[in-house]
């Protein structure tokens, strides 16, 4: 019973006491309620705290297990970077495995006990600097294990901060990268060795190529002279074969030289303005002939929007085009080749695109990705070649600010596309900068037989007698009044001093006793002392390296020619440096002459006049006479062919076709000659086929006749 | 509002007006829980206003005075209950400056659900301290009491002037403390 209960039942009678007790009871009741409420809250809080604690424990357990069992070493230190610190407070098992130190051996010590003679002090300084700034550090470090074995670590150190943001600890995670380091070092050494070997190889190739070019000069030059000599039909053909083979070999050598120069980063472009249409015309004549010889259709499309001129390296573009078209012909037996050249985009083009499509054997899908790789020739495509052509093409196109690509279907054909920069802006700059007639001179192609150097006295120096003889012949053919020869540098200087004045000097680069450079220098000194005008001196060198060319210019020479000497290049270069009146005359001669390159009607001249003119020295009457003899022979030949189409006449058909082929080739009627070659090859085929061939030959002969008539009209 | 504010208030009432006054005032209020406050509980802040209103009625002291007095009283109690907050501050300015960034931060750690007023330093010079009070509860006088309790504790001669800057949903007051 409660106190108030007693009171109510009359045990206590005082009203005041009763109220007092009621009050106390109520107060007690309130306190009890408050206590229960507090207990409830506390119990609830306890459960909450327990749950949170459990979660924390679980998290801590996971973290701890992770650290303990990690394969990477984990080390925790305090944050005392001074006073011999920091001090290690924890390491895991992996740390022991890497370093050989057990936990109790390192706790309280500084991590510096792990460092040694080859620990990089700069890395350590950087580490300390960063940690001092409160930043993390990552790097590679060479440390030493307990027994002194060096090992490499990839180490990452992170500062640990408390709630106030103060750094209290550092944790370091260390990975043993000793094996990786070893591989890296081996790899580096191998790469170094490979680079050295590759460089040596490139050097060797470059040197060899130079060395090879010099004798090639002799072979090509002399075979050219042979071709001009009065040889019998067979002799002429043999000389032509020598010349052709030598040209092929030179191309291969040039490929290798180009490639090794590109590899050695010694290659640079010679940029100038040129007419794309002209370039194409000049490039494809021979290729068209080759295609026709194989019985292939050959089409060229020039877009109407092609700019008049573009600015790039026309020789290199020609090289790429020749390579692609040459390949197309090589790998196509049926159908044909089509070439198209178009500006990209068509208005204000930035690039010119060349597309070469064939209907040839195609390239398998799994090889198409490899074809621009060096030394890659496709299996089953046993057609000779260095395997460098496409690799060089790709590198050249890259250098010419373009792209090259290929699409192919096996058995159906291949299309190569490449673009080169048009650089029309550059062109305008050039035009502005060069308003003189010099630029236009460079564009003019000068045919073999012009008497361009009429009356000139030229000094030619070369230690090689055949080269010297060849140069004299060429110069004389070009109209030079006198060519004074010198067999070495000093002699050239003496000749210049005593036998002068000369209109120009052609100087071999390499000569015994005194080389071309020294001779040129002495000539310049002599001229200066005498107050003479500087004579144009052109170096001739088998070494096409830019460095050599610069040396020539430094020695006071005006220009250089690389061997083998090509008549056209010789004329171009000499014209560039001869006094203006000589040059003007030459251009005038050129302009007066009707020429196949300017007819604009067809891309392929029916007759390549350069052949004919080697025999006629540009004399129109002589040309006509020559042609008349040819025509007479040809008509007789056609009659003979007609007579011997039957099987019994096969041998005679063959002989006649052979004879006609040679005559047409001498004239420069290459297509006709090609057709005759075809007739000769197919001498034992059925009469119906021969009829077709004969018809083609007759049609072509009509073309040749018309061409000559138009030329001499 | 934390229970300690209620239990301390009732302690003060008991000390100054006797235990019967506590009973009477709580009887007047007729709370569902009969006024069984525990310092670790959390209660509606309106209850505090109800208690003070009932006390004012019975004692004839104004609500504002009572609230101010309670603030002043509570500061002394804080000092006794939480002496560690007084380790660093050397004077009233230093203590008041630490309220927002130290005291309230610590309170939040223990009672994440606590709804605390803000007391930010708007201006501070050698002689002057301007504090900005803001709360969703109308306890600016309570804060005033606390501030004066603090000044008295450090035994400094500082004049306090203030200006109410209430906005909808927020009771604000700017206190300007100037050393005399």
Kindly report, residue by residue over A605-620, the tens digit of the pLDDT. 677 777 566 545 666 7
Asked if residue B5 has a cis previous peptide bond (ω within 30° of 0), the answer is no
Give me the half-sphere count of Cα atoms (radius 13 Å) on the Cβ side of residue A437.
Answer: 15
How many residues does this entry show for chain B? 180
pLDDT band at A514 (very low <50, low <70, confident <90, very high): confident
Q: For residue range B68-109, what is the model confidence (pLDDT) as tens digits?
A: 999 999 999 999 998 998 988 899 999 999 998 888 988 888
Selection from A194-203, A306-315, A397-406, A507-516 with the highest mean pLDDT: A397-406
The reported pLDDT for the residue numbered A404 is 93
More confident residue, B13 or A707: B13
pLDDT(B46) > 80: yes
In angstroms, the Cα distances linking B4 to A138, A702, B16, B36, B110 are 52, 124, 18, 12, 13
Q: Is A347 left (phi over 0), alpha (psi -120 to 50) or beta?
A: beta
Q: What is the mean pLDDT of residues A366-382?
A: 67
Contact between B19 and B56 (Cβ < 8 Å): no
Asked if residue A665 has a cis previous peptide bond (ω within 30° of 0), the answer is no
Backbone CA torsion sign across A359, A364, A367, A369: positive
Looking at the partner chain, which of A26, A32, A34 has a beta carbon nearest the beta carbon of B37? A34
CA distance A175 to A94: 9
pLDDT(A670) > 60: yes
CA distance A438 to A429: 15
Chain A residue whose CA is closest to B111: A45
CA distance A281 to A351: 19
The reported pLDDT for the residue numbered A446 is 41
Collapsed DSSP state (helix, strand, coil) of residue A497: helix
Mean pLDDT for all residues in chain B: 92
The reported pLDDT for the residue numbered A542 is 65
Contact between A99 and A188 (Cβ < 8 Å): no
CA distance A169 to B141: 46
pLDDT(B164) > 80: yes
In angstroms, the Cα distances linking A206 to A51, A257, A264, A467, B27 are 80, 5, 9, 23, 113
Q: Is A620 left (phi over 0), alpha (psi -120 to 50) or beta?
A: alpha
The reported pLDDT for the residue numbered A591 is 36
Whether B36 sits inside 8 A of A37 (CB atoms) is yes
pLDDT band at A593 (very low <50, low <70, confident <90, very high): very low
pLDDT band at A380 (very low <50, low <70, confident <90, very high): very low
ipTM score above 0.85: no
The reported pLDDT for the residue numbered A448 is 40
Looking at the partner chain, which of B23, B36, B39 has a beta carbon nearest the beta carbon of A33? B36
Write down the residue that tokens 């209109």 correspond to: A503
pLDDT band at A318 (very low <50, low <70, confident <90, very high): confident
Q: Nearest CA of chain B to the CA of A34: how many Å?
A: 4
Q: In what order do the strands lie in the sheet with B158-164?
A: B118-124, B128-135, B171-179, B158-164
Contact between A583 and A441 (Cβ < 8 Å): yes
The reported pLDDT for the residue numbered A9 is 63
Q: Nearest CA of chain B to the CA of A21: how many Å?
A: 12
CA distance A367 to A224: 41
In angstroms, the Cα distances linking B91 to A107, B70, B86 are 45, 22, 10
Token pair in block for residue B163: 């200006």
pLDDT band at A376 (very low <50, low <70, confident <90, very high): low
Whether B36 sits inside 8 A of A27 (CB atoms) is no
pLDDT(A471) > 90: no
Pairing of strands A504-508, A457-461: parallel
Could you please report the per-residue DSSP string of A176-199? Answer: E-HHHHHHHHHHHHHHHHHHHHHH
Q: For residue range A346-364, what is the model confidence (pLDDT) as tens digits?
A: 777 889 999 999 999 988 8
More confident residue, A662 or A679: A679
Best mutation target among A16, A20, A25, A27 (most B Cβ atoms within 10 Å) is A27
pLDDT above 90 covers a percentage of chain A that reads: 28
In angstroms, the Cα distances linking A54 to A43, A49, A51, A163, A180 are 16, 8, 5, 22, 42
Looking at the partner chain, which of A33, A35, A41 has a beta carbon nearest the beta carbon of B34? A33
Which residues in chain B are contacts of A45 at CB distance < 8 A?
40
Q: Cα-flanking dihedrals φ and ψ of residue A581, to 5°?
A: -65, -40
The reported pLDDT for the residue numbered A563 is 65
| Residue B38 sits at the chain A interface (C-beta within 8 Å) | yes
Token pair in block for residue B15: 């000390």
The reported pLDDT for the residue numbered A62 is 93
Looking at the partner chain, which of B19, B35, B38 has a beta carbon nearest the beta carbon of A38? B38
User: What is residue B161's DSSP assignment?
Assistant: E
Chain A residue whose CA is closest to B31: A30
Which secondary structure element, helix H or strand E, spans residue A622, and what is its range? helix A620-643
């Amino acid at each position: 019973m409660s106190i108030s209960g007693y009171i109510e039942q009359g045990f206590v009678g005082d009203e005041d006491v009763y109220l007092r007790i009621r009050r106390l009871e109520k107060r007690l009741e309130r306190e009890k309620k408050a206590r229960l409420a507090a207990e409830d809250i506390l119990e609830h809080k306890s459960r909450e705290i327990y749950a949170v604690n459990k979660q924390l424990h679980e998290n801590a357990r996971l973290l701890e297990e992770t650290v303990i069992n990690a394969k990477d070493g984990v080390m925790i230190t305090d944050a005392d970077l001074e006073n011999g610190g920091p001090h290690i407070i924890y390491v895991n098992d992996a740390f022991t495995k890497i370093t050989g130190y057990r936990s109790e051996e390192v706790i309280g010590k500084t991590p510096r006990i792990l460092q040694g003679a080859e620990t990089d002090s700069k890395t350590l300084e950087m580490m300390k600097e960063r940690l001092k700034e409160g930043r993390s550090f990552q790097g590679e470090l060479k440390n030493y294990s307990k027994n002194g074995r060096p090992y490499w670590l990839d180490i990452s150190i992170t500062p640990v901060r408390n709630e106030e943001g103060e750094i209290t600890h550092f944790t370091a995670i260390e990975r043993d990268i000793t094996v990786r380091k070893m591989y890296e070092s081996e790899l580096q050494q191998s790469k170094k060795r490979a680079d050295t070997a590759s460089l040596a190889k490139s050097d060797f190739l470059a040197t060899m190529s130079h060395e090879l070019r010099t004798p090639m000069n002799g072979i090509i030059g002399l075979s050219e002279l042979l071709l001009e000599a009065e040889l019998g039909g067979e002799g002429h053909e043999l000389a032509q074969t020598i010349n052709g083979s030598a040209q092929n070999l030179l191309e291969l050598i040039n490929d290798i030289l180009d490639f090794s120069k590109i590899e050695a980063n010694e290659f640079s472009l010679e940029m100038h303005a040129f007419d794309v249409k002209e370039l194409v015309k000049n490039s494809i004549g021979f290729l068209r002939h080759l295609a026709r010889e194989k019985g292939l259709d050959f089409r060229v499309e020039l877009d109407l929007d092609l700019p008049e001129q573009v600015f790039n390296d026309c020789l290199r573009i020609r090289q790429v085009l020749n390579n692609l078209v040459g390949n197309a012909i090589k790998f196509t037996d049926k159908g044909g080749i089509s070439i198209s050249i178009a500006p990209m985009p068509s208005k204000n083009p930035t690039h010119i695109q060349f597309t070469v499509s064939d209907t040839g054997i195609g390239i398998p899908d799994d090889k198409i990705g490899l074809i621009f790789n060096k030394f890659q020739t496709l299996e089953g495509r046993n057609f000779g070649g260095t395997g460098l052509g496409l690799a060089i093409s790709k590198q050249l196109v890259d250098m010419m600010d373009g792209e090259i690509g290929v699409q192919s279907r096996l058995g159906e054909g291949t299309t190569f596309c490449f673009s080169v920069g048009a650089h029309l802006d550059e062109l305008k700059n050039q035009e502005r900068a060069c308003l003189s007639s010099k630029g236009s001179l460079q564009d003019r192609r000068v045919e073999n037989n012009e008497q361009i150097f009429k009356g000139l006295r030229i000094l030619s120096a070369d230690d090689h007698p055949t080269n010297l003889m060849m140069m004299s012949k060429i110069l004389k053919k070009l109209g030079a009044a006198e060519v004074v020869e010198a067999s070495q540098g000093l002699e050239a200087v003496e000749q210049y001093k005593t036998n002068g004045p000369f209109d120009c000097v052609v100087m071999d680069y390499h000569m015994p006793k005194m080389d071309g450079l020294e001779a040129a220098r002495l000539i310049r000194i002599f001229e200066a002392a005498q107050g003479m005008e500087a004579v144009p001196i052109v170096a001739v060198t088998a070494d096409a390296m830019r460095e050599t060319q610069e040396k020539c210019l430094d020695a006071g020479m005006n220009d250089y020619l690389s061997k083998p000497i090509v008549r056209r290049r010789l004329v171009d270069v000499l014209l560039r440096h001869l006094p203006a009146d000589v040059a003007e005359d030459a251009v005038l001669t050129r302009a007066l002459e009707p020429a196949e390159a300017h007819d604009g009607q067809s891309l392929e001249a029916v007759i390549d006049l350069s052949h004919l003119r080697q025999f006629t020295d540009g004399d129109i009457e002589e040309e006509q006479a020559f042609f008349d003899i040819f025509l007479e022979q040809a008509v007789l030949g056609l009659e003979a062919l007609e007579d011997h189409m039957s099987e019994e006449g096969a041998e005679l058909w063959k002989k006649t076709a052979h004879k006609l082929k040679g005559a047409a080739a001498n004239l420069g009627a290459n297509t006709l000659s090609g057709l005759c070659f075809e007739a000769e090859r197919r001498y034992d085929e059925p009469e119906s086929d021969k009829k077709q061939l004969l018809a083609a030959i007759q049609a072509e002969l009509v073309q040749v006749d018309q061409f000559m008539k138009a030329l001499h009209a | 509002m934390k229970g300690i504010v209620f239990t301390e208030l009732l302690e003060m009432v008991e000390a100054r007006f006797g235990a019967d006054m506590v009973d009477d005032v709580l009887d007047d209020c007729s709370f569902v829980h009969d006024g069984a406050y525990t310092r670790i509980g959390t209660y509606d802040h309106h209850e505090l206003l109800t208690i003070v209103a009932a006390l004012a009625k019975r004692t004839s002291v104004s609500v504002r005075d009572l609230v101010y007095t309670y603030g002043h009283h509570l500061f002394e109690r804080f000092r006794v209950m939480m002496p560690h907050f007084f380790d660093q501050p050397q004077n009233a300015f230093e203590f008041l400056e630490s309220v927002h960034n130290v005291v309230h931060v610590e309170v939040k750690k223990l009672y994440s659900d606590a709804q605390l007023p803000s007391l930010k330093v708007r201006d501070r010079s050698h002689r002057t301290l301007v504090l900005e009070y803001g709360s969703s509860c109308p306890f600016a006088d309570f804060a005033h009491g606390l501030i004066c309790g603090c000044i008295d504790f450090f035994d400094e001669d500082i004049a306090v002037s203030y200006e109410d800057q209430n906005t909808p949903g927020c009771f604000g007051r700017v206190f300007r403390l100037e050393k005399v």
